[in-house]
Amino acid sequence: MGQRQGRAARGRSRALQWMGVAKKGTNPAYIAQNMDLESFRDGFQTVLHIKAEGRRPEQFVFTFAGFIAANGMNSRSIGICANTLSQLRHCRDGLPVACIIRGTLERTTLNDAIKFLKQVKHACGQNYILGGGGRVCDFECSAGKVVSFAPTSDTGVVYHTNHPLANDDYDAEYADYLRKIDPTKAVKGNSEIRFQALENRLKNLQNGIDVSSIESTLRSHDSREHPICRPVKEKSATFTFGSTIMKLSDKPEFLVAPGPPDTYPYQTFNFSGLP
């Protein structure tokens, strides 16, 4: 039997997958995410509406009860999603992911958001997608590095799951794991399978990417064992806790499905401070 790639030594990690597409023609930029969490969190899906105050823009934040942010966007069309890269090095004196999300949403331009992400010290391995100003970008972050990532030469489309592809600042446990495996016998694991499914779907969209094709991708089950959209199952440890689509236009919109998007319809949240 082949050796399975990815983190095997720390039990189950949260599975997340997201995608981003830059503005093209009449289509605005979008970033979107399916968030797979533990099944006991079902029913605690929460959208925070943070009103503008001073220089702080109005914000919508998707999360669960007791957690200050899982992803979100602001009224200046700055959006951020995060997914766990537990293979990367962590530190005790870094800023936690939820605080990085909230800090990013205080920014009013994409360049300022990128600057913040690069300057802050990261407590744990995370991948972040940022969107704004018609652009999207991706960064793999660890305690010691922030590395830009693009899956193809087309920087207008980005996507990611839960294994590092650009950042090699591995933690000791994962580095030791890599030394022990035979890469010629490795087989694709959960994260790699979901990444391939995203890649295949985005490559096959000949007429451009819009909100309809994003929804279709986030509802997909191309792999029965490791689907992009994970249903609620009684004996399953995880499910798609929520799905978000952020429309980064002059009139931004925050779309949320409070569960697997093939079961729960998207609800649209509009910013009150816009005409």
Indicate the SS3 state at residue 184.
helix
Q: Give the residue ranges of the chain where pLDDT is below 50.
A: 1-12, 275
Q: What is the pLDDT of residue 15?
A: 77
Element (H, E) at 192: helix 190-203
Q: What is the pLDDT of residue 10?
A: 41
Residue 119 is assigned to a structural domain of this protein? yes
The pair of three-digit structure tokens given for residue 81, joined into one six-digit string? 């999603």
Residue 42 is assigned to a structural domain of this protein? yes
Q: What is the pLDDT of residue 5?
A: 46
Is-contact 132 110, C-beta < 8 A? yes
The CA distance from 201 to 151, in Å, is 14
Q: How far apart are the first and last CA of the chain?
A: 60
The pair of three-digit structure tokens given for residue 86, joined into one six-digit string? 């537990």
Residue 99 is assigned to a structural domain of this protein? yes
CATH of the domain at 192: 3.60.60.10
- The number of distinct structural domains making up the chain is 1
Is-contact 18 159, C-beta < 8 A? yes
Tell me the longest C-alpha to C-alpha distance in the chain: 60
Residue 275 is assigned to a structural domain of this protein? no
Q: Which domain holds residue 89?
A: 3-270
Q: What is the pLDDT of residue 91?
A: 98
Q: Which residues of 212-247 are buried (b: 16+ CB within 10 A; e: fewer)?
A: ebbbebbbbebeeebbbbbeeeeeeebbbbbbbbbb
52, with CB counted inside 10 A (0-12, 13-18, 19+), is middle
Residue 152 is assigned to a structural domain of this protein? yes
Q: What is the pLDDT of residue 233?
A: 79
Encode pLDDT of 229-259 as tens digits.
Answer: 999 876 668 999 999 999 999 999 999 999 9
Q: Which residues of 136-151 are buried (b: 16+ CB within 10 A; e: fewer)?
A: bbbbbbbbebbbebbb
Residue 255 is assigned to a structural domain of this protein? yes
Q: What is the pLDDT of residue 206?
A: 60
Let me know the angle formed at the C-alpha of 114 by 111 and 120, rounded to the nearest 5 degrees: 135
The CA distance from 16 to 183, in Å, is 24
Q: What is the pLDDT of residue 4?
A: 37
Q: What is the pLDDT of residue 42?
A: 94
Is-contact 113 130, C-beta < 8 A? yes
Q: The pTM is what?
A: 0.92
In the DSSP assignment, the letter for residue 111 is: H
Q: What is the pLDDT of residue 234?
A: 67
Q: What is the pLDDT of residue 266?
A: 98
Q: What is the pLDDT of residue 185?
A: 72
Q: What is the pLDDT of residue 12?
A: 43
Residue 120 is assigned to a structural domain of this protein? yes
Is-contact 138 129, C-beta < 8 A? yes
